[in-house]
Chains A and B, each alone.
Chain A
Amino acid sequence: MALYEGIALIQEKQAVVLDLGTDYTKFGFTGEAAPRCIIRSEFWCTSERRYKRVHDYHTAEELYDNLVHMLHLLYFRHVLVNPKERKVVVVESLLTPTLFRETLAKVLFTHYEVSGVMWADSPRLCAITLGTPIALIVSIGAREAEVCAVVHASVVLHAIQSQPIAARAIHDELSRLLDEDNNTELHLPDHIIEDIKVKACFVGPRERALQWLEDKGPTPAKSVQYPLSGRAPITVSGRSRELAAEPLFTRDNELASLPDIVLQCIIQCPIDARRALAENILVTGGTASMLGLKARLAHELRYLVTQPPYSDRLYVREFKFHKSACHDNVCAWTGGALAAAADGGARALPRDVFTRSRRLRDWPCLLDNAPPHPRPRPANL
């Protein structure tokens, strides 16, 4: 056994890819097509005697503790490797809070003594799974829907769109509709709402959504009785099944619905990339696998682009969609596994560099995004 370990020491240890989502955490090795585990981002907190979510924190110290416990769970219960002297690829959103990034860096570098961390943003990693030079990434996760344009391996930063229309919005709407169906306040826990959504809900086409707004709606789909342990079963009507995801498509004066932010992202991109972006859309994230969501988004885009304010500003009429080489919910993770396996983690931030400088590069920081100083003129000229 010792001999094999020796060989492993000579080779670079296989790095791990970490995608700490709001609801689900994806964790596995680089160069593998699927993560080793997808688990809820929560851990058993012994002092509070309850399951605690990683993203529930008030202070930096609490977040540090949460991350230590979560990573311990991932490393020693699921992936079963020594974190020490092994590289990590962190898949993050471009809009991750600075506090979260920096605390995660401290936990990885000091607590787990990893040898290097590669910070990779999810839109570019999603684009990597396609192999196309230009892609429009629509990622619908737990909390937010983010639309990012990736043009030749760089994200068009000023065109990033983000709105809180994702799984949480659907859950809230679904629990409201269920209350209406059953004429009581049900107060269902979140995992039951999620289960109902996953098993019964779908996104109806655009025409039916318009019909629902009228007084007499279309013939609803079949309703279903959902059994609850220790309670009477509840009714999930066809209307609830169909309309649960409607908050993603409801338009108001803010123009903040999902198809709107996709179009706005395209408008804010350079004019010569717009047509290519519209023809290379990738809808990803856990919520994207909801039945009928992609079809509805395509229909809405094709309709909205002919309407003001887009009709006279955006002259693309064709929208094409990609299918990625993985399940929707692990797209960014797979990109991370590809990117790090290809270059062997050469882009990772090594531990000794972090120890010396104690800071991370970040795109909003002027130290990293400003052009280098012009060389001062020699005094004798």
Chain B
Amino acid sequence: MAYLTQPDYVKYVCSCGQLKPITSLYFCRHCLKIRCGFCICHEVDSHYCANCLENMPSSEARLKKNRCSSCFDCPSCFHTLSTRATLAQPRQPVADAAGGDTKVENKQPKKMYYLSCFNCRWTSRDVGIPDQPVASGGWPERTNPFTTRFNQLLDYYKAIAQQEKQEKLERERKKFAIRGKYLTLTDKTGLTGAMARNIAGLPSSESGSSATIANFTPSQASSEVEELPEDIFTKDVNLKLSTSMAQRLASPAWQPISVSRLHPLAKLLSVKRSQRCRACDHNLTKPEYNPGSIKFKIELLAYYHVPEVKIISFESAKPGAKSALLLKLTNPTGHEMRMQLLRPEDLPPDDKEEPKSLDKSLEKSLNLEKDTSLYQWMQRRPVLSGPCTVNAPSTELTLAQRDDAAEYDDDAHHDAGGIILWRKSNKLALRLEVETSESATPGTEANATLALQYSYRNTVPPAANAQPHRDHTLYTVVTLQLGLVAG
């Protein structure tokens, strides 16, 4: 829970330069780099309704404008509406009721349904929507009042675009049409193509589009504008009868001004997203299709691959003094991990140019679409300067693999001396020294940066032709928030 509610004291530097807590980072096993939500590619995977947890194929969702057909939101407070049932006696003609009692008894009271909001008590009866005989679906749909005019305009502009395209083609053709040596039939008779068509009683060639253009009536301006209603200066205002901006904009096509025009809003669908690494196009997460499931088919979260750093406690930093810092390191992987703490300055420079096989570079040069130089705009330069520096020990630390059974072991091994405070299965605690610079002003944030070098065993089955290269040495940089500099 600490991850959700507390501020992020430890942040990792993503490969794009963003600073994020480990819980919102991903780890691409193919590039062996940390990725975050900012530098990966999101994709819509499947549509579902969050209320009835019903899957909807994407084509159907497109047809239904991404709205669920059976769930509705309250147009007044946006809470989900519930369907309520009532018993309604079918209305009898008066003469019939007087005529014979037996007939009334035959008619069973019918179940009728209406929509009601349990939060604000709005019901579909408030706005005069008749009750429905079926529980779900069948609610009357409104049409956009502007649809007809919009379609007229659309046809008109489509016709114009069509005509433009034809004229362009015509011009192209004329440019290349070479007049032959011989007279054509139309030249001899003085007939043009259009005249011939006219005589033969055929519609002229471009009739389709030109008719639409000719029949179109542009909007007519009038000198009259809607005046203020007469009674506005004398009538009392009832704030409850006019809608708020949020209520109006919730249905963009109608935008009701008065509360009596509110209409149930069909619930907007939600999507499951899959996420993809931009550099290698492999999936980082892929959710399960079932909307009720919160599991993933693929989840390459940094939390499962990158050693986790947690602050146990720290002495407050004083300018020019040394203070103690207790850290806990965890190895989340199923393999033993060797680790070393470094200063961020000591990190080896990012060697971009790895030796590549010939066909790989060929493939890259052919693939023009994937121009990676564009991604420079996504790169951020992280702010890593802080008044504190962590004195990194030169010893190499070894962390055992994660073992679920060992979680229940609670005797920690206390190592006497050295920087290791204790060890417990895949975790270990370190006592480190933090130096604060003399020039640090009291009251500012005492941030420290620490680099980690760790061994990582890649479990991805290698491609057939690649040589198995499984153990890697990877680096990551974390920033630690160590409170404020003491006065």
Cross-chain contact B222 with A195 (CB below 8 angstroms): no
Closest 6 pairs (CB-CB, A-B): A342-B157, A320-B221, A34-B253, A131-B218, A4-B59, A33-B150
> Which residues from chain A contact B248 at a C-beta distance below 8 Å?
198
Cross-chain contact A80 with B244 (CB below 8 angstroms): no
Report, as a range, how many residues of chain B touch the other chain.
Answer: 35 or more
Cross-chain contact B225 with A321 (CB below 8 angstroms): yes
CB distance from B81 to the nearest CB of A (A): 19
Indicate if A36 sits at the interface (CB-CB under 8 A).
Answer: yes
Indicate if B394 sits at the interface (CB-CB under 8 A).
Answer: no
Report, as a range, how many residues of chain A touch the other chain.
Answer: 35 or more
* Interface residues of A, Cβ cutoff 8 Å to B: 1, 4-5, 8, 24, 26, 28, 31, 33-39, 61, 64-65, 68, 72, 76, 78-82, 84, 106, 109-111, 113, 128-133, 191, 194-195, 198-200, 202-205, 219-222, 224, 226-227, 238, 241, 279-281, 291-292, 294-295, 297-298, 318-327, 329-330, 334, 338-339, 341-344, 346, 352, 355
Give Cα A52–Cα B66 distance, bound, in whole angstroms: 27
Cross-chain contact A76 with B66 (CB below 8 angstroms): no
> Which residues from chain B contact A195 at a C-beta distance below 8 Å?
244-245
Task: Give B15-72 interface residues, CB cut-off 8 Å to A.
Answer: 38, 41-44, 47, 57-59, 61, 65-66
CB distance from A8 to the nearest CB of B (A): 8
Instruction: Name B66's contact: one of A79, A205, A318 (CB within 8 Å).
Output: A79
Cross-chain contact A318 with B223 (CB below 8 angstroms): yes
Most chain B CB inside 10 Å of its own CB: which residue of A64, A131, A330: A131
Cross-chain contact B374 with A109 (CB below 8 angstroms): yes
Cross-chain contact A34 with B221 (CB below 8 angstroms): no
- Chosen A-B contacts, 5 in total, with CB atoms closer than 8 Å, are A80-B271, A128-B157, A132-B218, A238-B233, A338-B153
Cross-chain contact B153 with A129 (CB below 8 angstroms): yes
Cross-chain contact A84 with B218 (CB below 8 angstroms): no
Taking CB as reference atom, which chain A residue is nearest B44? A82
Given contacts A80-B44, A84-B43, A110-B377, contact A330 B57 (CB under 8 A): no
Task: Give B218-249 interface residues, CB cut-off 8 Å to A.
Answer: 218-229, 232-237, 239, 242, 244-245, 248-249
Instruction: Name B253's contact: one of A33, A111, A294 (CB within 8 Å).
Output: A33
> Which residues from chain B contact A344 at a C-beta distance below 8 Å?
161
Taking CB as reference atom, which chain B residue is nearest A299? B225
| Interface of chain A, main secondary structure | mixed
Indicate if B174 sits at the interface (CB-CB under 8 A).
Answer: no
Cross-chain contact A131 with B216 (CB below 8 angstroms): yes
Cross-chain contact B42 with A76 (CB below 8 angstroms): yes
Cross-chain contact A33 with B147 (CB below 8 angstroms): yes
* Given contact pairs A202-B228, A342-B161, a sample of 11 additional A-B residue pairs in the complex whose CB atoms are under 8 Å apart: A28-B252, A33-B150, A82-B43, A130-B218, A132-B221, A221-B233, A325-B146, A326-B146, A329-B255, A341-B157, A343-B164
Cross-chain contact A76 with B374 (CB below 8 angstroms): no
Give Cα A1–Cα B56 distance, bound, in whole angstroms: 10
> Which residues from chain B contact A327 at a C-beta distance below 8 Å?
252, 255
> Which residues from chain B contact A133 at a C-beta distance below 8 Å?
218
Indicate if B282 sits at the interface (CB-CB under 8 A).
Answer: no
CB distance from B248 to the nearest CB of A (A): 8
Indicate if B297 sits at the interface (CB-CB under 8 A).
Answer: no
Indicate if B154 sits at the interface (CB-CB under 8 A).
Answer: yes
Given contacts A199-B239, A342-B161, contact A222 B234 (CB under 8 A): yes
CB distance from B227 to the nearest CB of A (A): 5
Give Cα A64–Cα B44 distance, bound, in whole angstroms: 22
